[in-house]
Chain A
């Protein structure tokens, strides 16, 4: 087993490291903590933060790649996540099958034990394979699995929360029930812990149920080549998260530097930078992306030998897509930063610094930069959901991520034609819809809370 570090993995870990550094830094500075205290005090903020972290955990697990058989060229690149859900990945059927079905979705000629051949729906190799007579036993089996999964999840929750409640009860001298009530329902203090614990509980229980069900059935059916759709949807999380975050990240240094320089120095530097971003933003985004991806395809076709594995090629295309998307979207951030710097440079403390003879670069890094960081942060959070949605649209135009890569856009794109089938195949769309909707909704709501927290006009972030 050899670990593999793809480019996007590396950047993701850099991003996580940066966040960790920021948290460590912000812990010691009260003014940096204040807006986050507002977020933590908001019920919506806490609940969505839990959901987003669940997505992030899956995405990170899916970013720890390795090659199980020691790095030969033919060796598949797997991730820790693949390894954890091994069965889900390996349980391949022949072709389409409906959610929770025990039969294939297409008729086949089956040879009966007595030698005759009938056209019928064959049994699935994995879905409901443990049942002898699925028509009668399936309902009971699904109910049993739901019960088992929920029960196990509740046991886990009890093991986590009962000691906690017991300690609180002991400390405050109240009954155990009152302590639980305080944990999950009634809020004490500034932080919205009940929202946190409740969302956590819902998440754990639904995860338990899904794990129990996925062990015996295809929860979201299988696709054309018989791959489990639930597994595809889970794998797509990483793609969605990467596009949503790396896109802003890759162009962030340029946007920051140019925006601040333009705003602070004005004059011809400002003119030049303004010219640069007006030119870039005047090219329609989709067309620029299309042109760039076309060129990448030409390049890859020419230099096919340089990419030793499919995973590496798909990864490079994902990274390139992030860069191109970044180029089309950094201009907005740059414009915002320029405007804010124009305002800041006239403020007294910057004027004073200049009067004391502090040099330009020092003023920029010590006085301007820390005071525009909130704009950067808000725009990262606000852009996220739009980028996740954009990925799906780009996949439809065939200029999205590599077709071999799992992504919600690719799922929708390939499922689109299946709607025309009779009877229709709807589960790929449904799975992509559910997973995308939950992520984007959570991100939108979270972004709203973050924006409110940083908005000086509301004056609420100063609690």
Chain B
């Protein structure tokens, strides 16, 4: 417990660092004037319009220190405090187009989860099964061609999986809608295709990686001992190899768990799913800096959370590891 608290405290300087980096990137390298000009267009833009835009979005304050205010106000009434420091309280403020970012995020995380969680679970089941099969038939033609196919599948850009899936299942076979989303349970038919595409595009690297883990485990001494004692190959694989190889697999999954709800940028925007991924992409395309900034911060929080969870999960599944 004390360890978790310490790790959480250790996260604070990292988040401060992240915040400073985004702050420098967004406000120091480019002045708010530049941003205003980008939003209002480069032609026919008056200084009044720029200062009006800046005032409207609260970018007309000094960067770090407001000399015109007294006491604590000198620090709080600045761009840094209002736009960056407030993120620590998960107060995201308003987007450049005037919407409440926190509300948007809370609303949009569910579609993201509805795609990411099934993709992860189904993908995990399929990858482990296939990898276990290849490991069982190791050094045969099945294994060889399995690895060749896995490498070939790895070499295909995920864009092609998405485009191919949409074209084949959506346009040619008319099995599922190509893109879109619906509320509640009616959303399932919109989710099938993204999940299938997500699973297939992950098979190549997943199977190859898990196969390596299994083979590494098979080469260990305790497996040889078990085999020497007369344990059957199937029993050996499931009772010993699978169980021990699950440790790295599990911890690998735990790292990405918190990031799941950030959604997948590509899948969501291709399939028109109103999740956080497409939210981010839209923000990038509309050049809405407030949203991009919030998502950068949120992403870092999730990453750090993932690291902490990994450490904790190690102690849960592997009694040899002690937290210290």
Contact = CB atoms under 8 A, between A and B. Distances in A.
Instruction: List 9 A-B pairs, minimum CB-CB distance, nearest first.
Output: A284-B299, A279-B17, A441-B155, A440-B155, A282-B300, A282-B303, A290-B284, A287-B296, A298-B34
A437 interface: yes
A393 B281 CA distance: 12
Interface in A251-295: 275-276, 278-284, 286-288, 290-292, 294-295
B284 A294 contact: yes
Given A282-B14, A291-B26, A295-B26, A441 B151 contact: yes
Interface string A370-399: 000000000000000100010011001111
A11 to B, nearest CB: 23
A284 B25 contact: no
Nearest to A290: B284
A295 B31 CA distance: 10
Interface string B150-165: 0110111111100100
Interface stretch (B84-92, B117-125, B287-295): B287-295
B155 A444 contact: yes
A428 to B, nearest CB: 11
B262 A284 contact: yes
Most central of B152, B159, B304 by chain A CB within 10 Å = B159
Contacts of B292: 287, 290-291, 294
B38 interface: yes
A188 to B, nearest CB: 25
A286 B265 contact: yes
Contact of A298 (B35, B171, B295, B296): B35
B34 A393 contact: no
A389 B153 CA distance: 12
A83 interface: no
Contact of B304 (A282, A287, A429, A448): A282
B260 interface: no
A298 B14 CA distance: 28
7 contacts: A284-B303, A287-B299, A288-B296, A299-B34, A389-B158, A429-B160, A437-B156
Contacts of B3: none
Given A279-B14, A444-B151, A291 B22 contact: yes
Contacts of A286: 265, 280
B25 A282 contact: no
Contacts of A416: 163
Given A389-B157, A397-B281, A444-B154, A283 B163 contact: no
Contacts of B312: none
Interface majority SS (helix, strand, loop, mixed), chain A: helix
Interface of A: 275-276, 278-284, 286-288, 290-292, 294-295, 297-299, 301-302, 385, 389, 392-393, 396-399, 412, 416, 419, 429, 433, 436-437, 440-441, 444-445, 448
B18 A396 contact: no
A436 B300 contact: no
A316 to B, nearest CB: 15
Contacts of A275: 13-14, 17
Interface in B1-46: 13-14, 17-18, 21-22, 25-26, 29-30, 34-35, 37-38, 42
A397 B284 contact: yes
A292 B25 contact: yes
Given A291-B26, A429-B163, A284 B300 contact: yes
A279 B21 contact: yes
Nearest to B11: A282
A419 B167 contact: yes
Contacts of A290: 280, 284, 292
Given A279-B17, A441-B152, A396 B25 contact: no
Contacts of A279: 14, 17-18, 21
B285 interface: yes
Given A283-B22, A429-B160, 6 more contacts: A283-B303, A284-B300, A301-B37, A302-B37, A412-B160, A412-B163
Contacts of B269: 397
B157 A393 contact: yes
Nearest to B158: A393
A298 B38 contact: yes
A429 B171 CA distance: 16
B38 A412 contact: no
Contacts of B13: 275
Contacts of A437: 155-156
